[in-house]
Amino acid sequence: MLSITKRRRSFRYADQSNSGSGSIYEYEDCFVGLTDDLPLVSCGNYCGKTMTLKEVLRSSVGVMGESPLGLTEKVVLLKSQMFAVKRLRMTVVRRNEFGKRVEKLAQVSKKCEYLVPIAAYLYTKRIKFILCEYFPMGSLADLLAGARKYGHTALNWNQRLKIILSIARAIEFIHRQNPNERKIKMNVHGNIKSSNVMIKIDFSACLSDYGFTQLAERVELPRKRQLKPPPHQVPPPSYLIYREELSQKADIYNFGVVIMDILAGSRFSTFKKCILEVKEEITEGRIEFFEFALDTRERMRASQILDIALACTNLSAEGRPSIEQILLFLGDAIIK
């Protein structure tokens, strides 16, 4: 663990495993490492080279995503270590509180295999970012978009089911946390969506951005200029828009939207209002609803998970199931 001492306009980073010795780095180059296997960040020195803020920013190899909270970039540091940098646009807390919250989120995240680990963070006057584990497979949104837009190999049923289960287990872990600690709600994720579901090589998944909505303000992104608006363009229906409230019930609703995206994608918006009326046809395969191939048994299970998604996206928060109930329903759907 690190001891950090502020001295005038610099911080001292001391690796306690080395008799408390440390080096002084300028205010604008202050990293706080949160993992023992990341010496270049935690100690500011790696193989005799000092890692500065400028070098980290220059190591960015591209923007992976953009959201109202900020940018996500891929960085390659010394010894080819790859990380995802979450660069926040506008934080809602000052330096000390920011550090306390990130460190607490990191402590909780490392206890769950279904949450993306936080490696380090940086807070300067101009730049605030969080360094997280990088996943070469990308996000769920990337995989789904790749299949729909570019004809990449689509996820099969077993892979989709594994992803759904991973997300549910991550939510269950979060919702069991102590509600309030260090002025932050630890039992709410706050930003569950397909782009924050990172995929592992075995097609299990990890939730990223846990608690980040309590670190940064949402900033409305500028709309891309369109020379000719698409004909008959209509806004997405209310039941396909993620909820932004900081509550467990909003987490459940957003999980339901993610499930719908996994099961049917854009097809869902066509059937939502009449889905209960045509449920039998969907289950029997007479209506093409699911966007992937299914045998008879798999179709039955997918229809049961569709029921879960419908319950999660109930417009009444009180009518949505708890994550414990969802996991029971998922267990039943898998066993049958």
* Amino acid at site 243: R
User: Which of residues 199 and 336 earns the better pLDDT score?
Assistant: 199
User: Which residues are bridge partners to 85 per DSSP?
Assistant: 73, 131
* pLDDT number for residue 36: 52
* pLDDT number for residue 89: 86
The least confident of 148-162, 217-231, 240-254 is 217-231
* pLDDT number for residue 222: 65
pLDDT digits (tens, 9 = 90+) for 2-42: 333 333 333 333 233 333 333 333 334 455 666 555 433 33
Q: How far is CA 295 from CA 165, 183, 285, 292, in A?
A: 20, 49, 9, 10
Domain ranges for the chain, please list them: 2-133, 140-335
pLDDT digits (tens, 9 = 90+) for 47-58: 334 455 666 666
d(CA 42, CA 15): 8
Q: Which two tokens stand for residue 169?
A: 């287990």
* pLDDT number for residue 26: 37
* pLDDT number for residue 146: 81
* pLDDT number for residue 107: 92
Q: Can you tell me whether residue 318 is helix, strand or coil?
A: helix
Enter the pTM of the model.
Answer: 0.80
pLDDT digits (tens, 9 = 90+) for 160-206: 999 999 999 999 999 999 887 768 899 999 999 999 999 999 999 99
- Topology (CATH level 3) of domain 2-133: Phosphorylase Kinase; domain 1 (3.30.200)
User: Which of residues 38 and 252 earns the better pLDDT score?
Assistant: 252
Name the pLDDT band for 218 (thresholds 50, 70, 90).
confident
User: Which of residues 125 and 106 earns the better pLDDT score?
Assistant: 106
Is the pLDDT reported for residue 232 higher than 80?
Answer: no
* pLDDT number for residue 240: 59
* pLDDT number for residue 21: 33
Tell whether domain 140-335 is in CATH 2.30.42.10: no
Q: What is the DSSP letter of 78?
A: G
Name the pLDDT band for 208 (thresholds 50, 70, 90).
very high
Average pLDDT in the chain: 77
**Which of 133, 202, 194 has the alpha carbon at shortest distance from 167?**
194
Instruction: Look at the block and give the residue holding tokens 């449920």.
Output: 279
Q: How far is CA 72 from CA 5, 57, 184, 208, in A?
A: 30, 12, 23, 11
* pLDDT number for residue 52: 57
Name the pLDDT band for 78 (thresholds 50, 70, 90).
low
d(CA 13, CA 50): 12
* pLDDT number for residue 42: 35
Query: pLDDT exceeding 70 applies to what percent of the chain?
Result: 71
User: Which of residues 316 and 220 earns the better pLDDT score?
Assistant: 316
Q: Mean pLDDT, to the nearest integer, of 115-130?
A: 88
* pLDDT number for residue 1: 37
